[in-house]
Structure 1
């Protein structure tokens, strides 16, 4: 079975179950015992008496249900054994077919019959199937083992076509079994036919944890040229399910291999081999469902208020890289039968799969690089041209015009002109090194499928004065939400770039616990530079553009960013806030992005992302993750 996925607070988020098909072979049940069987089946598995009675009337091998639970199936197996011991069933003879040579005389007879009926224009579906197998063999489209399996199964159909399976129980019935020798026969109390019909993946909390969790579909198989769902095989589609597909997937089913006696029973001796079933690993996430659910509700409410396309938010432990929440206002129900029709539009984990121009949220990254390399004169007063600056033929504007400012005030007041001037002496190679230092253009390594890398301009582009200037304030390059969240964690952990991850541990079928293999944190700026940036980002909240992100009783720092982009011919705005919340004991790096705000609504990050950040931080206090300092 495919392994289950659980939350940090031990809720089962995804699990698999087998559903059984229950059939009843009517000719094997003694007529005088059928009323007893009917009542017992109703009692054991709550089957409809009317359906069972209809099966008795139709005769043959009739399916009663195709979605029976494992518990009910186990009870029915015990019932079947008891009924057999009590003589309720007649003995039915089965003869096994397992030809091991394609030149077998019975195969040749079957092929000749199919060719003759084809020439006379009287071929049946069985005849067509046999001739198709023959053609596939001749054209090397199937292997010899595949051909043997197909020919054996076709031979079973030919032999059984003369038997009235709805009436006969004493006539030998033929069946194919690759583990039993050819022409072995057995008498069995057939009664109920109980077997696995399909496996099903269940997500008990519906849209919670989506799209992060991801989902599975069924595989496909072709039968007689028609494609059907293979309901015994999962194919992971997205999110954690897809990233961890290899370790979640079951490795093999259990079975016994060996020689069989005349009755078709495997002889257990030194030559027989028991292959144990090997289930997939279970996975425990770093994310508590309780926290994720409450953040998702905040995002859904905020999205209605701001009329955006989607709002996402994430919380990370900056020291370990553990993700405590990664939620979206856009989610879906992955359960089959309840699945959203537009699931393909909602299944993307936007936090890792979508890149965007970061706007002013890039400025602390640029500033910290310059600070760390001692490339800033903090006493310098820089001319900001009253908010309008001509760079060759390109005009740069500040939303809050200033005549001049120190470097710190440039970041606090978010001056585009100031950032352009702070980076004007950098070469294109230095600008590229700056962005690469923070992982722009590279995977973060997060354990979610389909991670995007963003866009890092070439050195030749960054050597151009205008392009170098615009990238310094977040245009002309692209980053993902996760890249930004990871970058801002650097200011909270002493200067280290860590690997974000949502997997807490992996549990093997024998209950051994393993931990994800993460890259070692890489120090990209000094502790002194990181601590300085942390203090400066606190001033940005207190004095600058992010005042609505502030929360009383906590230390809050961060930076807003608003960037426009074209979408289907219209201009939309992406508003971001990335920063931290701290109570001096614990610190969390938090990011919020509001995608697709309209110009006629609130669209600046200070109006959208910053207030959402504040609500999430208040929630962390309520849930005990942070402790508010009460001042007299």
Structure 2
């Protein structure tokens, strides 16, 4: 049997174990308690906080015209949320009626929101609309207060047994993009899509300037105001409150004045109808700076409401539509040969061939027969035979490098989303006389509208081809201006003397060649026509690109490079550039004169022939005009009509709906009107 001492030791040992276990329990309990306290302190609790934060989300930058009209801007959007079970059933019809009036949403559409797919009433949260704009949001917030006063909402018991009244909540959920002038300046402006982080939606550029300047105009940093709250939840402004200013995206300020752009757009819309063309593209650029004053297409769309039929128009053809240039490339060929001193403007070439063999079993011919022509008249009469022979005075390498210096087969550097380079035959082919001849008058190569605008600016700017620029500068909220250098700069295409010689040749084209319809007394007008077949499935068809690129200058130093491209004019004989692109070019000059961008010497104002929109006639077989008919067409001269320039309403008179009351006629001449008055005339 164990003795007394052993029993006593065993009892002491047991007590020690019990005390140790109890101590461990106490330590564990204390640890759990301290962890709970720490977790309570560090975590967000459901009790009202003494501090609150008001967020001020930043905006995407706006796009603004040169005459300070907002073309694209952002505004906040809100969503309306209500709890289905919180609406008194007897007053549900009143709620739906009032919400429909304030929001503009039909009652039937609102009632559908209250039921699920099975047709059962939804008791939880219901999103009535996700696209409420700021003005409507303010009105709906006012409605929410009135509905509370009318006892439309009934209390709901929570799981804890507390009765809570849920009302109509108007919650900020994103930012939307506004295009207040609808299709004006599209597709240059481009369009946006939605980019969401789950709770907040922002616009994201998809095309045009919205995409090209995405990283500069996108929202930069949200602002907030943080401080103690009072009993009603309002932030107290004191020395301890913290305010952080938001940083919005930069605003884009364009070189394009809205008054000029809209005039040009309305004009080409009418011209398109007049000649039944698929599309007309035009541009006006300052020859000295490269600033684009107008870049317009007859195919436009409303960026805030894009329809299925608008998809083709989403692509800006100015930079994304390569085509075979035709005869407008001939001045470039002449300029390169002049630059290399292989010819002078007075060098004569034999052109008296009915068919001129360019080897390889191929031959070219001219519309007009001349036994021989000097270089100047080769361009004036657009001789394929003469241009081919001039191209042979250059090597394949010289010819190719010369075109590259003009910017052909290269990106122009214009600030748009995509700037396609087009294409040029490789050196191994251009070493062959046949390929060099074809390329010399614009076939077998692909160019874009902006490439030719850049190239032709060299003939009006001492040989320096200017990079086209849409954006003048970027501006922040403090008014600071920032400019971005183009990725591809200006290029010296040819020397000053050669550019001047081609300049003078282009003047002769307008004086006595295919460009006579572009004449304007008191102004220096030059340019070159081009009528090129369109290729389909590897074969040329009876469809054409008609174009006219050139310049218009006055004695006061205003110098503009102007281009007009007509795609598939289908009215009889309107596919000739002299019947479509040249009159379009001339009407742009009329607009420039009316708005004081050009000032003719002597103050003469000559109006272009009225644009006539004839009804479509059934298709019929169109015979090619004879050589004599074409020659007669080229020799037509335009006699100045000494009468005041037509107003915008006279030039673009389209009556869609009868006007109830005629407005008083403003007799102020267009050139004396303010930008605001001109803008109001257009709309």
Q: TM-score range by the shorter chain?
A: 0.7 to 0.9
Q: Distance in 2 between matches of 1:631 and 1:12?
A: 34
Q: Quote the offset at 1:288 in angstroms.
A: 1.3
Aligned residues: 531
TM-score, structure 2 as length reference: 0.69
Q: Distance in 1 between matches of 2:195 and 2:474?
A: 25
Name the counterpart of 1:323: 292
> Are residues 484 and 275 of structure 1, via their aligned partners in 2, closer, same or farther at CA, if it must alter by over 3 Å?
same
Q: Could you tell me whether the CA contact under 8 Å between 2:353 and 2:365 is conserved in 1?
A: no
Name the counterpart of 1:143: none
Q: Secondary structure at the match of 1:588?
A: strand
Greater displacement, 420-429 / 568-577: 568-577
2:377 pairs with 1:389: no
Name the counterpart of 1:125: none
Name the counterpart of 1:132: none
2:502 pairs with 1:530: no
Q: Distance in 2 between matches of 1:256 and 1:353?
A: 47
Aligned residues: CA RMSD: 4.1
Q: Distance in 2 between matches of 1:304 and 1:464?
A: 43
Unmatched tracts of structure 1, length 5 or more: 91-165, 174-185, 224-229
Select which of 205, 212, 221 maps to 2:181.
Answer: 205
Q: Could you tell me whether the CA contact under 8 Å between 1:572 and 1:599 is conserved in 2?
A: no
> Are residues 515 and 445 of structure 1, via their aligned partners in 2, closer, same or farther at CA, if it must alter by over 3 Å?
same
**1:296-375 maps to which residues of 2 (within 5 A)?**
296-336=265-305, 339-375=306-342
Q: Distance in 1 between matches of 2:93 and 2:322?
A: 66
Q: Distance in 1 between matches of 2:429 and 2:239?
A: 71
Q: Could you tell me whether the CA contact under 8 Å between 1:387 and 1:400 is conserved in 2?
A: no
Select which of 181, 188, 194 maps to 2:170.
Answer: 194
Name the counterpart of 1:112: none
Q: Quote the offset at 1:459 in angstroms.
A: 0.7
1:374-393 CA distances to partner (integer Å, 9 max, x unpaired)?
A: 22144532111334211221
Name the counterpart of 1:137: none
Q: Could you tell me whether the CA contact under 8 Å between 1:89 and 1:190 is conserved in 2?
A: no
2:369 pairs with 1:401: yes
Q: Quote the offset at 1:273 in angstroms.
A: 8.7
1:512-568 CA distances to partner (integer Å, 9 max, x unpaired)?
A: 221232365333323233223222211111121211121222111000011112236
Select which of 156, 163, 166 maps to 1:168.
Answer: 156
Q: Distance in 2 between matches of 1:172 and 1:509?
A: 50
Select which of 406, 422, 440 maps to 1:438.
Answer: 406
2:183 pairs with 1:232: no
Q: Quote the offset at 1:233 in angstroms.
A: 3.4
2:513 pairs with 1:576: no
Name the counterpart of 2:600: 628
For the pair shown, the structure with the greater C-alpha radius of gyration is 2
Q: Secondary structure at the match of 1:576?
A: strand
Q: Distance in 1 between matches of 2:133 and 2:164?
A: 25
> Are residues 464 and 269 of structure 1, via their aligned partners in 2, closer, same or farther at CA, if it must alter by over 3 Å?
farther
Q: Quote the offset at 1:42 in angstroms.
A: 9.8
2:69 pairs with 1:5: no
Q: Distance in 1 between matches of 2:349 and 2:337?
A: 16
> Are residues 76 and 341 of structure 1, via their aligned partners in 2, closer, same or farther at CA, if it must alter by over 3 Å?
closer
Q: Distance in 2 between matches of 1:592 and 1:43?
A: 49
Q: Could you tell me whether the CA contact under 8 Å between 1:211 and 1:348 is conserved in 2?
A: yes
Q: Could you tell me whether the CA contact under 8 Å between 2:348 and 2:372 is conserved in 1?
A: yes
Greater displacement, 531-540 / 448-457: 531-540
Q: Distance in 1 between matches of 2:257 and 2:412?
A: 22
**1:462-473 maps to which residues of 2 (within 5 A)?**
462-473=430-441
More strand by share: 1
TM-score, structure 1 as length reference: 0.74
Q: Quote the offset at 1:581 in angstroms.
A: 1.0
Q: Could you tell me whether the CA contact under 8 Å between 1:24 and 1:191 is conserved in 2?
A: yes
Q: Distance in 2 between matches of 1:596 and 1:42?
A: 49
Q: Distance in 2 between matches of 1:41 and 1:421?
A: 78
Q: Could you tell me whether the CA contact under 8 Å between 1:218 and 1:231 is conserved in 2?
A: no
Select which of 383, 386, 389 maps to 1:421.
Answer: 389
2:537 pairs with 1:479: no
Name the counterpart of 1:121: none
Name the counterpart of 2:616: none
Q: Could you tell me whether the CA contact under 8 Å between 1:571 and 1:599 is conserved in 2?
A: no
Q: Could you tell me whether the CA contact under 8 Å between 1:306 and 1:601 is conserved in 2?
A: no
> Are residues 27 and 206 of structure 1, via their aligned partners in 2, closer, same or farther at CA, if it must alter by over 3 Å?
same
Q: Secondary structure at the match of 1:531?
A: helix
Q: Quote the offset at 1:325 in angstroms.
A: 0.6
Greater displacement, 305-314 / 247-256: 247-256
2:508 pairs with 1:539: yes
Q: Could you tell me whether the CA contact under 8 Å between 1:212 and 1:349 is conserved in 2?
A: yes
> Are residues 543 and 4 of structure 1, via their aligned partners in 2, closer, same or farther at CA, if it must alter by over 3 Å?
same
Q: Quote the offset at 1:407 in angstroms.
A: 1.5
Q: Secondary structure at the match of 1:382?
A: strand
1:350-394 CA distances to partner (integer Å, 9 max, x unpaired)?
A: 111111111111111121222223221445321113342112211
Q: Quote the offset at 1:612 in angstroms.
A: 0.8
1:146-185 CA distances to partner (integer Å, 9 max, x unpaired)?
A: xxxxxxxxxxxxxxxxxxxx96344469xxxxxxxxxxxx
Q: Distance in 2 between matches of 1:203 and 1:485?
A: 28
Q: Could you tell me whether the CA contact under 8 Å between 2:552 and 2:589 is conserved in 1?
A: yes
Q: Distance in 1 between matches of 2:147 and 2:313?
A: 51
Q: Secondary structure at the match of 1:385?
A: coil
Q: Secondary structure at the match of 1:386?
A: coil
Q: Could you tell me whether the CA contact under 8 Å between 1:411 and 1:540 is conserved in 2?
A: yes
> Are residues 402 and 32 of structure 1, via their aligned partners in 2, closer, same or farther at CA, if it must alter by over 3 Å?
closer
Q: Quote the offset at 1:212 in angstroms.
A: 1.4
Q: Could you tell me whether the CA contact under 8 Å between 1:59 and 1:167 is conserved in 2?
A: no
**1:79-228 maps to which residues of 2 (within 5 A)?**
168-171=156-159, 191-219=167-195
Q: Distance in 1 between matches of 2:253 and 2:95?
A: 45
Unmatched tracts of structure 2, length 5 or more: 1-58, 115-120, 605-683
Greater displacement, 25-34 / 383-392: 25-34
Q: Quote the offset at 1:65 in angstroms.
A: 4.7
> Are residues 32 and 597 of structure 1, via their aligned partners in 2, closer, same or farther at CA, if it must alter by over 3 Å?
closer
2:61 pairs with 1:73: no
Q: Distance in 1 between matches of 2:106 and 2:207?
A: 39
> Are residues 169 and 306 of structure 1, via their aligned partners in 2, closer, same or farther at CA, if it must alter by over 3 Å?
same
Select which of 229, 233, 242 maps to 2:211.
Answer: 242
2:464 pairs with 1:493: no
Select which of 488, 508, 526 maps to 1:557.
Answer: 526
Q: Distance in 2 between matches of 1:411 and 1:48?
A: 65
2:557 pairs with 1:589: no
2:81 pairs with 1:23: yes
Q: Quote the offset at 1:314 in angstroms.
A: 0.3
